[in-house]
Structure 1
């Protein structure tokens, strides 16, 4: 992994983490690190493509680098998933909450490049969640959660580690991503 680039994208729900990951996969041919979850698929999400959809029992058997529980679903990432993304790519990208990003920064040190995606207005995040098809009740639970409040701000543990990307406007964020990828 020494000659590879691992990008960890973090920030609040609806901040555009997945959109930025997809942009990196499409434009820069980054390998997408697939993570595990016990939640049900949304819309057209597919197993082994968007997530590894797990049961509580199968999730408990995984060898995870980090994991977290949000409301009723568990999420986690494994070293196997990272290594699989690096099989055919020099750059791999993963989307994590800030707690997971802190774990990656602590365990992988400078092997992980942390990007914190910032959006100033919680109403913008609500609108983005609605647009992607989240149920209203789920959105309100998520916005009221401690995890959401934590992920709205760059944690102290990442202040000297993370690059902050302003995603209030996609064109501004896209230029910043392009600059980071070509430096």
Structure 2
């Protein structure tokens, strides 16, 4: 199978980190391109496994050398994916996943037009709010800001090649695995029946 680059994006609280982690664990031929970030590690996060935790100075140096394929400021912290990280993983023969926001995805599309975009949606506005408030890792004002931005982010799904509604983790992982192996055409945004189902979901909710 030809190594390809996949960009996975979703509104905050949709569950993309959980799904991507599981895909990588269950599929030896799939690898996550670990991002750099200036934010402090959360509990149980490990350097070089979850993120490359770096200082602002180190981040600026990589950015100044055009070392990032994409980078963005998110809630006061900076994130970026290094070009070397992606190139080395693709050269090893893996299917490579970038877990980034839609702004980063736009940068990747410009730099690598052959990258495939996968967008995850929550099953409803209420479920999204429940997930965000249930994290217990952010201050209330941060949760409110995440929820406000997430309601805006759901509209970005039409910019991607594939869209999945994460109403069941097992099923979402199964569907994403099919996309990674080239068998996920029924989940493409270009599939009119699938697109209609997603539009019905988005239109039926007061986002």
TM-score range normalised by the length of the shorter chain: 0.7 to 0.9
Q: For the Cα contact (< 8 Å) 1:31–1:93, is it kept in 2?
A: yes
CA RMSD of aligned residues (A): 2.2
**Contact 1:21 1:94 (8 Å CA) reproduced:** no
Mapped to 2, the partners of 1:179 and 1:155 lie a distance apart of 19
Contact 1:31-1:89 at 8 Å conserved across structures? no
1:119-130 equivalences under 5 Å are 119-130=122-133
Partner residue of 1:114 out of 108, 117, 121: 117
Structure 2 CA distance for aligned equivalents of residues 70 and 175 of structure 1: 29
Deviations 1:49-94 (A, max 9, x none): 1001111111111121111112210111111121233354421111
Secondary structure class of the residue paired with 2:97: strand
- Superposed, which structure 2 residues align to 1:31-180 within 5 Å? 31-62=31-62, 63-86=67-90, 88-110=92-114, 112-137=115-140, 138-145=142-149, 148-154=150-156, 158=159, 161-180=160-179
- Segments of 5+ residues of structure 2 without an aligned counterpart are 184-207
**Does structure 2 retain, via aligned residues, the 8 Å contact 1:42–1:133?**
no
The two structures have a TM-score, normalised by structure 1, of: 0.84
Deviations 1:12-31 (A, max 9, x none): 01112112211221122211
SS at match of 2:70: strand
Higher relative contact order (CA 8 A, sep 6+): 1
Q: Secondary structure at the match of 2:145?
A: helix
Deviations 1:92-135 (A, max 9, x none): 1110101111221222111x111000114234233334444422
CA deviation after TM superposition for structure 1 residue 8, in Å: 0.8
Q: Does the aligned pair in 1 maintain the 2:2–2:93 contact within 8 Å?
A: no
- Structure 1's unaligned 5+ residue stretches are none
| Equivalent pairs, count | 176
Work out whether residues 33 and 84 of structure 1, in 8 Å CA contact, stay in contact via their aligned partners in 2: no
